[in-house]
Amino acid sequence: MSLLSKVQENVTLSKTTVEELLSEENLLSFNREINLEHAKKMENSIKTLGVLRLPVLAKLKYQDDDLAIADMQHGLYGWNKLATKKDTIDAIVVDCKTKKDVVNLIAKLNTTSKGWRDINYLKTWIEFGIENEQFGNYITLDKVFKRTELPMSLLLDIFAVSKIGFKLGELEFKHQSRSMTISNVCLYFRARGWKSYQLNGLSKFLLKNDLSLKQIEILKMRIVRLEEDNKLPRDRDDLKTLLALVNSETANTFNDRFDN
């Protein structure tokens, strides 16, 4: 069912109602953080251009039809700063029968508008709890993220079958133990000062080539040798070619390149 087919009504909100919706007790538990810098940008945008898209409210059918902000939280915050008691703003109301309907609604809206970062989706689905069948996968990914502090986008490339699935609460792993090994290799090279594009190139190479744990360790040591001899290329394409070359060489051939 599309989002539009779930729309029940349009409502007109007063400044008082918006203030109530923005109060901490009425904000959704997984969506309570308001970035004041972003809210200020929205305020300036509204001051200059007006309201360009309507806020979306979730009608919580499982909670006495209470209303909660599903989209445009920062926009409403900015609008409220500008509004007088006589001003009103229109909003779209969408029925949500369950808590999961609410999370899916917000996830889909933010996937489209790019309003959330990957970490927001991770936090949201962990907050949702064990009702989500993939809850354990989100907890595992969160532990890896906290342990390694690698970029979430990189970890999703390494672990997740689908980034869209991750955002919609359907996180599945490609091969957890192999992904863990690859993330540890990336962590090792990040500690050596590697840039993001180098880590991305390395992870894509390791994901594409079905190397054993021993082969991965050999590859890692060969790259270290190249790096220590200042022969590690900085260009993305050169790095990709080098990884393939280093992986295909025998130990003797590899050593000969430095001994001659």
Which pTM value belongs to this model? 0.68
pLDDT score recorded for residue 105: 86
pLDDT score recorded for residue 4: 45
Average pLDDT of adjacent 10-residue blocks, the chain of 260 residues: 58 94 86 78 86 89 91 90 91 90 82 72 87 92 94 94 90 92 94 88 88 89 87 73 78 66
Q: For the residues of 3-62, what is the DSSP string, one character each?
A: HHHHEEEEEEEEHHHHHHHHSGGGS-TTS----HHHHHHHHHHHHHH---S--EEEEEGG
Q: Where are the domains of the chain?
A: 1-114, 117-260
Of 151, 148, 127, 150, residue with least CA distance to 139:
127
pLDDT score recorded for residue 257: 66
CATH topology of domain 1-114: 3.90.1530
pLDDT score recorded for residue 258: 61
pLDDT score recorded for residue 236: 65
pLDDT score recorded for residue 157: 94
Q: Name the 3-class secondary structure at 248.
A: helix
Amino acid residing at 63: Q
